[in-house]
Every structure is written in structure tokens, then in C-alpha cells.
Amino acid sequence: MRIAGSPAEPSISGDPDFPVNRGSLCIKGWSSGATLAHPERLTTPLVRNLRGFLDPASWDEALDRTVAGFRAAQARGGCDAVGLFGSGALTNEKAYLLGKFARIALGTRMIDYNGRFCMSSAAAASNRAFGVDRGLPFPLSDIAHADVVLLVGSNVAETMPPIVQYFEAQRARGGKLIVVDPRRSVTALAADLHLRLAPGTDAALAHGLLHLLVRDGAIDTKYIRERTEGFDHVRAAVARYWPERTESLCGVPEAELVLAARLLGHADTVMVLTGRGPEQQSHGVDHATAYIHLALALGMVGKPHAGYGCLTGQGNGQGGREHGQKADQLPGYRRIDDPAAREHVARVWGVDPGSIPGAGESAYEMLDSIGEADGIRALWVVGSNPAVSAPNARRIEARLRELDFLAVSDFFRSETAEMADVVFPAAQWAEESGTTTNLEGRVILRRRAFSPPPEVRTDLTILCDLAARLGKGELFASSDPEHVFDELCRASAGGVADYSAMSYGAIEAQGGLFWPSPRLFAERFPTPTGRARFHPVRDVHPAEEPNESYPLYLTTGRVLAQYQSGTQTRRVPALTKLAHEPLAELHPAVARRHGIADGDVITLTTRRGRAQFAAKVTASIREDTVFVPFHWGGERSANRLTNDALDPTSRMPEFKVCAVRIERTVARDANAANPAKGPGV
């Protein structure tokens, strides 16, 4: 992306020389400059007064109030009484320094980030199978050269439009696209084959496809023998998933299963890509693992233009989990319980290894501990909005209100910021330099285009200012992003995600640098044996299934014109014009049973709460499923309905499936424009 002009009138354009999107931007990219001089933008710190209102304050007052809040909480409950909640939208430098701040300036174990709600299941599955987690172990451009792409639970046409060019090029070459999704999304409409599975049945579908590949002799036995281990156990496990049984489990017709297996088995190169659909479930690691098995059994992992990959959901989803803001990790994707890792990082930080605390709680568990005797009492949220993005959001909102102290760093007064005691106005993307690491493992440098408003500071500056007030200033001597990156590189040296050979100059000169290389697994896997690992997984039911009281599935996702919790995008006129409210998609047969027409206001109820939406009646959704986007808060919050059941390995909540009932609340005004007919949704 290129930006020129001024913050008041920025000029945004694509960069045709950038190798990832080749100048292509989605509407969110084209309109991203609208937030820089937005009238609702935070331009001064806010502190809650005795009457309960947030008032403008000086930086000294806001920082002192925050330090006092942290110290009071730790005086009552110990070091772990303070928690930090980060974001996959932070630069590598900020993610790194936030993790260091938690462990060294505060001495707390309690740090995690919203990426726990995004890619944690795929990351755990990749580590389990390959010994390393990288979203894509190959460049995005490889997609264009795959004979068959199996795209699971990702609507890239709306959520990642700039990469659609690679799928279009793949099909133009004669390649086939298979999409797995309960919805006939915009992406599914372009597919050669759409497998419309029931929510929560991904493992059953993957097992059924592997059963057919084994039955038809389409697996690569030489690859399996020479480059993997554990396949016999998986082959035995999928023997029970004959086509008729698989159809009964996941709702995909037998003929479509057979056709999908034939396409996969006859192709020279196959790419299996997963998104949030199979991953954001209480057994998301097993679902992702089951799809990895397909790529391994076909002998595709490490082969050019083939393999398994995960499509990340946040701008720095990969880098955000590599350098220490995750509860169980240190910089370089090191395990925090590894003595050698602690020794190395402590040496870089200039502290005793014993002073680095151990692993903390996952994001949801940390938030849910608020109000408990041994839970956190003070929290700093940096670049996230858990009041909207967390599952069972009404419960989390209530928990946040129980805090003794809450600080938030953001651009706008988000739903979480509205509950805060202190709100820090943070610099936006165009107002600071820093690196991010995309889903290919490509480290990219973003240079500052404009200076932030006078009373706005970068998160790095805020971190260093707070560290100084906590008596740790000598360990946080510089807020210059290049200096922080150089320290990050030293801390990551020798780790799985080793950035030690990188510098700003080298990244800028080469248009981005990969760790450790653009393509992985060509010769061996970073496991003790050098082989990829099959890992038998069970086909398990979702934590919650429909019954008489809650007869339908609810699944959630995104729409083209909004992003994440909507804190920024819901304030951009060009985007709100396309999607100004959340629409609940339901099948015409369901609408008829309930007397619902397009645009009617309906109430959706789960075991956790109720929320209201305008109805969008469409045959693109399964008859047993309702789809709602999650970008809105308050009474229109989809996450007030979602299930907080957690995956036992990744601690990922079950956003993608729960049981729901539906009723019409208000009939559509026949004289009003029908919101369900708006473009882009």
C-alpha cells in the first residue's frame, strides 16, 4: 500500500511492485485513510472521574493512574493480579515489547492476545504434525499453480479479496477449486465443487475423504513410508468412514464425497487450505489435523505448489504469536518452560532467568478469571476489543466491569474502552514504523507516512513510559522501533522463528524477508525424526448440538465491508454504506415456518443470551443453520450468543457452532428500504 497527501486528505493506492497483493486492495484498504483524521478519533488520554465519566487528561495523569492501578492490584493479589491482553494487529516490535513488559516490568504470567481466538488451533495442529507453525509454508503465489485447491471454512472473496487473484489464476490454468463451507458464500459460488457440510463435522468429512483415497489406492505410499510416521493408526481410524456413514455424519451427499476424492486423488499437486471454519471450534485442533492428514497422505507437503496451509485472519497474525505476547511463549516462538530458552532471553534482557515467570492462562481463561479470588484485578488491553470479540461476550463484559482497574490503548472509544478507567490514544498504522510478518512468513517493513496528532503516542512509547514509572526504565531504554526490532532479533536468535539475520535495511531492500525460507519441508521436517507425524483424531461432536429447545445451528463469520470487532470499520462511511448492520442469514424453509420475511427483525436465543438482527432470507445457507457476522456489539452482538467451550489443546473457543432458536420480533416496514438487499453482504 502507498499513502500520500495529508492525514486530513490521505491518498491511498496499491503498490504494484509488492509481491504479495501486486497492488490489489480490498475496500477496507482503499478506505483505510478515513480513520486518520476521523472526528471520533482519540487525540488525548482519558481518565474516569469521580462522577464516572471519561474526561480528557494529561499523559502524566493517565500514566500515573495506570501505574497506581497496577500496583494496587498486585498489592492485593500478587504479581499475577495484573493481566495484559494484546492483539494480532500489533507490529512485531509492539508484540515483543508487550511480552517483555508483562514478564519484566510487571512480573506477571498473565498475558495473552486476541490471536488465541484466531489461528491457535491451526498453529497447534501444524506444530503437532510438522514441528513448526507457519500459516503458509509456501508463498501465496503457489496457489495459482496447484492442480486442485481444497479450501475449508474460508470465504476469501470477502475476507481476503487481494489474494483472490491467485485462485482466479489457478482456475484459469485449468485447476479445480473445492470449497467446504455450510454457506454458499461468494467464494463457494466460484468453486467447481461446494461441499456444504453441517457445522462441527469437519473431522468426519476429512476422515471420509481419506477413507476414499485409501480405498481407491490414491495415496502416496512411498511418501508416507519415507517421510512420515504414524499413518497405520490413522488408516485404521478412517476405515469406519465409508461414504454412506460420512454422509449421515456431515450431510454431504455421497456422490459429492466421491467426486471430491477423485479430484484430489488424480491431481499432481493438491493444496489444502483451512480458515476459521474448522478451527474456531472446541475440537479445532483435531479438525485441522484431519485436513493435514489429507495433504500428507497424498504426499503433497513439501512438494512444489502443494501442501497444507492456514489462512490467517489478522494483519500480523503470524508475527503476533512469534515473539512473546502469547501466554506460553518467549521471543522466537520459544516455549517459556524451556530452561535453555529462558536462559537465552534473560541474557538479552539483562535479567536473571528465574525472574521470568512461567506460562499464564489463555485469553478467554484470563478474562474469565476476573472476579475470582485468584483472578486478575487489573487489565491493560492493547489494540483489541474483547467486549465484542470474545465468546459469550455478555459474560466477559460483566467480568470486565468487575475489574479494580482497566486501561485500554486504542484509536477510538471501543465498547471495551467505554468501560475503562484510563484510555490511551494510540498512533495509527500510517503514523508509526514497524514490521509485520504475513501468513507466508514474510517479514515486511512499514514506514511512517505522517506524524501522529500532538497528544497521541505510539504503543512503544507508552510501554517505555510505564516501565520507567514502574522502576524498570533501564530495561526499556528505547521506544525507537528499529532499536526494538534489533533487540527482538537478538532475543529470537536460535529460536524456531529466528529473525537474527534481519535488519530494517535488508527487509526494505528486498521487499521483505522470509524465516527461514520461502518454502519449507522440501527435504525434512523440524521434528526429532525429521518426519511429519500423523496423529489419530476422533470425530467428536460440537460441545453443543441442536435439540427441541434450540433446533438450529448458529455459525458466525465476517462480511466484506467490516473487520474484526468493527471498532474502526463501523466508523467509515464507505463501509457502513455497504454493511450498516448485521444480517442473520436463514433458509427460506426456516423463514416460512416462522413467518419471517426479508428485513424482519428477529431474535436469536442461545443458552448464553439473546440478540436481535435483521433477517436475510437466502437459499445460500443450509436449512439447519443460521449465519451471523460478529462485527457489531451491544444488542446486535453475535458473540453474546457464541459458546465459550474451549479446545483442550489450543484453548480456542467454539465460535463456529452452537445451538440456537429463532423468532420474529418486528415485521419489516414495507415502506422502508430493505436492509437485507444491500450490496456487499
Domain-embedded: residue 49: no
In the chain, the number of structural domains is 3
d(CA 503, CA 524): 28
d(CA 539, CA 167): 30
Domain boundary among 456, 490, 514: 514
Domain boundary among 310, 340, 361: 310
Residue 330: the pLDDT is 97
In this predicted structure, the answer to whether residue 275 has a pLDDT above a threshold of 80 is yes
Residues 6+ apart with CB under 8 A from 670: none
* E strands, 501-608, in order: 513-514, 532-533, 552-557, 583-586, 601-606
Residue 674: the pLDDT is 47
The CATH number assigned to the domain holding 639 equals 2.40.40.20
Domain boundary among 295, 310, 325: 310
Instruction: Give mean pLDDT, residues 46-73.
Output: 97
125 and 110, same structural domain? Answer: no
Integer-rounded Cα radius of gyration of the chain? 24
Residue 681: the pLDDT is 28
Residue 675: the pLDDT is 43
- Quote the domain boundaries for residue 408: 63-117+317-514
Domain-embedded: residue 584: yes
Domain-embedded: residue 519: no
pLDDT tens-digit readout, 224-260: 999 999 999 999 999 999 999 999 999 999 999 999 9
Instruction: Give mean pLDDT, residues 317-339.
Output: 95
Predicted confidence band at 331 (pLDDT cuts at 50, 70, 90)? very high
pLDDT tens-digit readout, 472-530: 999 999 999 999 999 999 999 999 999 999 999 999 999 999 988 999 999 999 999 99
Predicted confidence band at 669 (pLDDT cuts at 50, 70, 90)? low
441 and 499, same structural domain? Answer: yes
Q: Please name which of 576, 561, 546 lies closest in space to residue 660, comparing C-alpha atoms.
A: 546
pLDDT tens-digit readout, 431-465: 999 999 999 999 999 999 999 999 999 999 999 99
Percent of the chain with pLDDT over 90: 94
d(CA 612, CA 662): 10
409 and 278, same structural domain? Answer: no
Here the contacts of 520-527 (C-beta below 8 Å, separation 24 or greater) are 520/130, 520/132, 520/134, 520/137, 520/138, 520/302, 521/130, 521/137, 521/301, 521/302, 521/307, 522/302, 523/302, 525/130, 525/131, 525/132, 525/227, 525/302, 526/130, 526/131, 526/132, 526/496, 527/130, 527/131
Residue 677: the pLDDT is 41
The CATH number assigned to the domain holding 168 equals 3.40.228.10
Residue 540: the pLDDT is 87
Amino acid making up residue 15: D
Residue 203: the pLDDT is 97
Domain-embedded: residue 237: yes
d(CA 681, CA 676): 8
Domain-embedded: residue 38: no
325 and 428, same structural domain? Answer: yes
564 and 663, same structural domain? Answer: yes
72 and 146, same structural domain? Answer: no
Instruction: Give mean pLDDT, residues 646-650.
Output: 97
330 and 295, same structural domain? Answer: no
pLDDT tens-digit readout, 377-389: 999 999 999 999 9
476 and 391, same structural domain? Answer: yes
pLDDT tens-digit readout, 605-639: 999 999 999 999 999 999 999 999 999 999 999 99
What does DSSP assign to residue 185? -
Q: Please name which of 58, 18, 91, 93 lies closest in space to residue 430, comparing C-alpha atoms.
A: 91
Domain-embedded: residue 19: no
Predicted confidence band at 312 (pLDDT cuts at 50, 70, 90)? confident
In this predicted structure, the answer to whether residue 680 has a pLDDT above a threshold of 60 is no
Percent of the chain with pLDDT over 70: 98
Out of 130-144, 313-327, 498-512, least confident range:
313-327
Residue 414: the pLDDT is 97
pLDDT tens-digit readout, 149-204: 999 999 999 999 999 999 999 999 999 999 999 999 999 999 999 999 999 999 99
Output the pTM of the full model: 0.95
In this predicted structure, the answer to whether residue 664 has a pLDDT above a threshold of 90 is no
The chain-wide mean pLDDT, for the chain, equals 95
Domain-embedded: residue 29: no
336 and 273, same structural domain? Answer: no
Output the 3-class SS for 346-357: HHHHCCCHHHCC
In this predicted structure, the answer to whether residue 672 has a pLDDT above a threshold of 60 is no
Domain-embedded: residue 480: yes
556 and 502, same structural domain? Answer: no
The CATH number assigned to the domain holding 397 equals 3.40.50.740
296 and 222, same structural domain? Answer: yes
231 and 138, same structural domain? Answer: yes
